[in-house]
Amino acid sequence: KNEVEQSPQNLTAQEGEFITINCSYSVGISALHWLQQHPGGGIVSLFMLSSGKKKHGRLIATINIQEKHSSLHITASHPRDSAVYICAVRGIQGAQKLVFGQGTRLTINP
Partner 1 sequence: DTEVTQTPKHLVMGMTNKKSLKCEQHMGHRAMYWYKQKAKKPPELMFVYSYEKLSINESVPSRFSPECPNSSLLNLHLHALQPEDSALYLCASSQALAGVETQYFGPGTRLLVL
Which residues here bind partner 1, judged by CB under 8 A?
30-31, 33, 35, 40-45, 48, 50, 86, 88, 90, 94-98, 100-103, 105
Identify the CA nearest to 100 among candidates 92, 90, 69: 90
Between 70 and 90, whose beta carbon lies closer to partner 1? 90
Shortest Cβ 84–partner 1 spacing (Å): 8
Q: Give CA angle at 71 (106, 28), nearest 5°.
A: 125
> Pairing relation of β-strands 10-14 and 4-7?
unpaired
Taking a C-beta distance cutoff of 8 angstroms, is the pair 91, 30 a contact?
yes
Between 17 and 91, whose beta carbon lies closer to partner 1? 91
Shortest Cβ 39–partner 1 spacing (Å): 10
Tell me the C-alpha distance between 30 and 51, whole Å.
9
Shortest Cβ 54–partner 1 spacing (Å): 12
Between 11 and 31, whose beta carbon lies closer to partner 1? 31
